[in-house]
Structure 1
Amino acid sequence: MKLIFSFYIKIAVVLSLLFLFNACASKQDIVYYQNIDGMSSQQNANSYEIKIRPDDLLSIIVSAEDPEITIPFNLRTVSMVSPSRQDISRGQETMQLYLVDSNGNIEFPVLGKLNVGGYSRTDVQKMLHDKIAVYIKNPIINFRIMNFKISVQGEVTVPGTYTVSSERITLIEALAMAKDLTIYGKRDNILIIREVDGVKTYNRVDITKADFINSPFYYLVQNDVIYVEPNKNKINGAAVGPNTGVLISITSLIITIITLIVTSSN
């Protein structure tokens, strides 16, 4: 009887060790920027600017010392009123936006059709300034992309679609918005889905190595999708998780019964 008891004790120990082994993760799997101390500083990162793309919504406001002369160059504001309200003066005024068409063009007051697709915000601001300066002395161009958003999926704490107001966001900032990766997120193979010239591209990033900071995917562009796939522990746990608890319970029950039998026989 003691031999049987010893046998089941060994089984329980082996199961426990296997469980602990599968649950363990190495530093190389979890820690970010592992080789950052050996990297040299980069000075070209701050020059990054996103490009205007089809379906972008642009807010462009022209101002000058005399507000009256800028009126022809600005879209009108519209009043949004709920159906239950009759007084239009109580509605919320909203500035109309420019929609970039599939050819990268917008229709601008006075100036007509302008091609802005593929250009940076700085480029478009300069172009508008030069064209409007023919009519207005020292015009001021206020320019923003209003529908800049990114989506974060997979093994993050709060997956979702996030609107970006600054028009400039890094991969790390996007993951921080999603409250970082879970312990089960695969940090060395993050997928970034990006549309380039109308074609979907699929790109892998390893954030455990600091050199990803210098990659084209450190800064995100509008409508990027970030997917964090689960690591092998999460996949294995999903496959055997429900049975593991049952197995441990049965093993514990058998050990308890054998202990009682051995104790009573002594």
Structure 2
Amino acid sequence: MKYFPILRKTIPLFLMLFLFSCASRKELVYYQNIDNLPTQKTNSFEIKIQPDDLLSIIVSAEDPEIAAPFNLKSVSLQSTEKFDMAGGQATMQLYLVDANGTIDFPVLGKLKVSGLTRTEVLTMFHDKIATYIKNPIINMRIANFKVSIQGEVTLPGTYSVASERITLIEALTLAKDLTIYGKRDNILIIREIDGLKSFNRVDITKADFINSPFYYLAQNDVVYVEPNKSRINGAAVGPNTGVIISITSILITLITLIITTTK
């Protein structure tokens, strides 16, 4: 019984370390019920244009001179970028969608684009420009498409997306996946549409999340991975964890020596 005070102090430390090291399959494994899901057609998804988007819009025609008035004439570092395409140089002409959701387009003037999908914008441009040009070709993309990933991921940050189609899983992969401490069943996605923010939860441990409207991310989405209980409890212990382990090791050694010498 004379060793009881020492054991009383040591056992809780063992229990705490044991609890920190435990994690169940349900907490960690993705797509757990995927074998039970029927084969489904991929959901169609198109993002909508929003204020502050930068749009690259280039109008082409069989005769380049006819299309020239519908493209930006002045070139500045603020409004254009250059990139290689098929060994040549092409100009990316960017239009900023203002707070009212409009852009100022050559010849056509101010056009409302906010709230429209890419397909709807292209159809609108084609119909308007077809009055001036026969069989116009319009290319458009969002040049500043990005998503931000925070919380319990290996590499949090803001990531630019070359295309206009990225899934939640692809975004998490850009951030080098969740850490072992990330809650996989309660990922928060913050999305702003028409000035209104929505807060949405996604459980990636269940495969049917692929049917969620938040499986595909929109431009400027914020993804936050919440820490699990182990991380929160570990934060309470903080930088003293290493000290506790060392003290526990010393106590075990001392108890062993005491027991050995008293026999």
Q: TM-score range by the shorter chain?
A: 0.7 to 0.9
Partner of 2:98: 101
Q: How many Å apart are 1:93 and its aligned residue?
A: 9.0
1:133 and 2:108 matched:
no
Q: Is the CA contact (8 Å cut-off) linking 2:10 and 2:251 kept in structure 1?
A: no
Partner of 1:33: 31
- The letter for the 2-side match of 1:154 is G
- The letter for the 1-side match of 2:31 is Y
Q: Pick which of 103-112 and 211-220 moved more.
A: 103-112
Q: How many Å apart are 1:230 and its aligned residue?
A: 0.4
Q: How many Å apart are 1:8 and its aligned residue?
A: 4.7
Q: Is the CA contact (8 Å cut-off) linking 2:50 and 2:114 kept in structure 1?
A: yes
2:186 equivalent among 189, 202, 208: 189
Q: Per the alignment, in what secondary structure is the counterpart of residue 179 of structure 1?
A: coil
**How do residues 135-214 of structure 1 correspond to structure 2 at under 5 angstroms?**
135-214=132-211
Partner of 1:120: 117
- The letter for the 1-side match of 2:63 is D
Rounded to whole Å, the distance in 2 between the matches of 1:55 and 1:129 is 23
1:69 equivalent among 66, 69, 84: 66
- The letter for the 2-side match of 1:213 is I
Q: Per the alignment, in what secondary structure is the counterpart of residue 125 of structure 2?
A: helix
Partner of 2:227: 230
Rounded to whole Å, the distance in 1 between the matches of 2:177 and 2:252 is 41
Q: How many Å apart are 1:135 and its aligned residue?
A: 1.2
Q: Per the alignment, in what secondary structure is the counterpart of residue 239 of structure 1?
A: helix
Identity %: 70
**How do residues 17-96 of structure 1 correspond to structure 2 at under 5 angstroms?**
17-43=15-41, 45=43, 47-80=44-77, 95-96=92-93
- The letter for the 2-side match of 1:231 is N
Partner of 2:83: none
- Over the aligned positions, Cα root-mean-square deviation in angstroms equals 2.4
**Structure 1 residues 135 and 15: CA distance shift in structure 2, 3 A:** same
Which string of whole-angstrom CA distances, capped at 9 and with x for unpartnered residues, describes residues 11-70 of structure 1?
65664344223311101000111111112233251x211011111111110011111111
Rounded to whole Å, the distance in 2 between the matches of 1:4 and 1:111 is 92
- The letter for the 1-side match of 2:188 is L
Q: Pick which of 244-253 and 144-153 moved more.
A: 244-253
Q: Which runs of 5+ in 1 are unaligned?
A: 82-91
- The letter for the 1-side match of 2:58 is I
Rounded to whole Å, the distance in 2 between the matches of 1:124 and 1:54 is 14
Q: Which runs of 5+ in 2 are unaligned?
A: 79-88
Rounded to whole Å, the distance in 2 between the matches of 1:29 and 1:261 is 42
Q: How many Å apart are 1:5 and its aligned residue?
A: 5.2
Query: Which structure has the larger Rg over C-alpha atoms?
Result: 1
Q: Per the alignment, in what secondary structure is the counterpart of residue 166 of structure 2?
A: coil
TM-score between the two structures when normalised by the length of structure 1: 0.86
- The letter for the 1-side match of 2:20 is N
Q: Per the alignment, in what secondary structure is the counterpart of residue 233 of structure 1?
A: helix
TM-score between the two structures when normalised by the length of structure 2: 0.87
- The letter for the 1-side match of 2:137 is I
Q: Pick which of 193-202 and 178-187 moved more.
A: 193-202
